[in-house]
């Protein structure tokens, strides 16, 4: 059992808290939540009655075993350093940070009781992709394509956080969404190397509206494309790995599919994202409990998160 204090009373903080209360009460309990905005605290505690609000981040850190940092990215490392200095474990929302140099310095400081919330680390669909790869379903992997698209940015359910999610300093779909698929690539295929990239910022003061990049992952060629206003869907995503004997893909966050010849065949146990999310979050919290106890875990490591962040920020700079 791990006591988790949550910094950040937004959507992600509420999701993890709800998962702890409704699906993982045997491994995790929420000790308190803190946010600098009283309205956010009021909404959070109304949605989850009985969860206490801490008077300060220091009080929250003092009263828990592990701090979950669900604040905007610019605040991640400040809270993480305070929690680690107090002897607490840290589970940090992605991206790790927005300042690559600071993230590199943090990677040299932090100990093993630190992990980043890339839920694909606990995804049944990703586990299925891994199993198919290990079985040799596509032969030797030859190339990978990542595609994302959005009707608008931020997505409809995120618009209350548009002040930072649509700003170039902390926001944008590359940090918020593409990072997940780069983590998946890093975990299944190997370390990332960004070879070429461009990002378009047509609206002054707003986040990117289109990206294109070429990378390698463990030597495997990777192409990446993304754009806003290029689909009617709130959120379109597809990760496709091809080899001489066929192809695998993850679509819509949680549906694993494979193809040898003919149409794509979904995993018989595939679930849509809404149904998969509670299971994924429960597995994430099980990993948090192990990480906080100093045990081996499956969560995204600091090295993986730093690799992803360096690629993301390079894409946004147009390296």
Looking at the predicted structure, is the pLDDT value of residue 319 above 90?
Answer: no
Type and span of the H or E element at 103: helix 100-109
CATH code: domain of residue 206: 3.30.360.10
Q: Domain check: are 286 and 171 in the same one?
A: no
Q: Are 62 and 108 found together in one domain?
A: yes
Residue for token pair 């604040």: 71
Cα distances from 181 to residues 78, 116, 238, in angstroms, run: 26, 14, 9
Model pLDDT for residues 154-203, shown as the tens digit of each residue? 999 998 889 999 999 999 999 999 999 999 999 999 999 999 999 999 99
Number of domains forming the structure of the chain: 2
pLDDT digits (tens, 9 = 90+) for 44-99: 999 999 999 999 999 999 999 999 999 999 999 999 999 999 999 999 999 999 89
Within this chain, do residues 201 and 222 fall inside the same structural domain, yes or no? yes
pLDDT, average across residues 235-263:
96
311 or 111, which is more confident: 311
How many residues comprise the chain?
A: 319
End-to-end CA distance of the chain: 44
Q: What's the whole-number mean pLDDT along residues 228-233?
A: 96
What pLDDT, on the 0 to 100 scale, is given for residue 160? 87
Residues 53-66 have pLDDT tens digits of 999 999 999 999 99
pLDDT of residue 47: 93
Distance CA 222, CA 195 (A): 10
The residue behind tokens 């599919």 is: 257
> CA-CA distance, 243 to 259, in Å (whole number)?
10
Mark whether 64 and 106 lie in a shared domain. Answer: yes
For helices 302-317 and 100-109, the axis angle rounded to 10 degrees is 170
Looking at the fold, whether 201 and 233 belong to one and the same domain comes out as: yes
d(CA 76, CA 157): 22
Q: Are both 167 and 309 inside the same structural domain?
A: yes
Identify whether residues 106 and 140 lie together within a single domain: no
Same domain membership, residue 100 and residue 205: no
Output the pLDDT for position 110.
93
CATH at 83: 3.40.50.720
Q: Are 164 and 265 in a shared domain?
A: yes
Q: Are residues 205 and 312 in the same domain?
A: yes
Domain range holding 232? 121-272+305-317
Whether residues 134 and 213 share a domain: the answer is: yes
How many Cα atoms occupy the beta-carbon half-sphere of 133 within 13 Å?
20
The whole-model pTM stands at 0.96
Quote the pLDDT of residue 261: 85
Query: 197 has which bridge partners?
Result: 213
Same domain for 42 and 164, yes or no, is: no
């Amino acid at each position: 059992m791990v006591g988790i204090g949550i910094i950040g009373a937004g959507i992600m903080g509420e999701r993890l808290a709800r998962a702890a209360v409704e699906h993982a009460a045997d491994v995790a309990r929420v000790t308190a939540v803190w946010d600098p905005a009283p309205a956010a605290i009021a909404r959070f505690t109304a949605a989850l009655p009985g969860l206490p609000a801490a008077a300060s981040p220091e009080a929250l850190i003092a009263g828990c075993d592990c701090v979950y940092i669900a604040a905007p990215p610019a605040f991640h490392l400040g809270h993480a350093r305070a929690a680690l200095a107090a002897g607490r474990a840290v589970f940090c929302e992605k991206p790790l940070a927005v300042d690559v140099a600071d993230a590199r310095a943090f990677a040299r400081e932090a100990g093993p009781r630190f992990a980043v919330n890339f839920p694909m680390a606990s995804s049944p669909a990703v586990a299925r992709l891994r199993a198919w790869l290990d079985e040799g379903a596509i032969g030797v992997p030859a190339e990978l394509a990542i595609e994302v698209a959005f009707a608008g940015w931020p997505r409809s359910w995120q618009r209350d956080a548009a002040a930072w999610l649509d700003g170039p300093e902390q926001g944008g779909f590359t940090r918020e969404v593409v990072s997940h698929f780069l983590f998946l690539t890093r975990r299944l295929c190997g370390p990332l190397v960004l070879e070429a990239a461009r990002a378009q910022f047509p609206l002054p003061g707003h986040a990117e509206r289109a990206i294109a990049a070429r990378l390698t992952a463990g030597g495997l060629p990777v192409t990446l494309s993304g754009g806003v206003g290029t689909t009617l869907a709130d959120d379109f995503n597809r990760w496709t790995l091809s080899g001489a004997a066929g192809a695998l893909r993850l679509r819509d966050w949680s549906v694993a599919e494979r193809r040898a010849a003919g149409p794509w065949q979904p995993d018989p146990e595939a679930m849509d994202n809404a149904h998969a999310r509670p299971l994924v979050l429960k597995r994430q919290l099980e990993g948090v409990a192990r990480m906080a106890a100093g045990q081996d875990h499956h969560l995204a490591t600091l090295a993986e998160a730093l690799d992803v962040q360096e690629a993301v920020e390079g894409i946004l700079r147009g390296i």
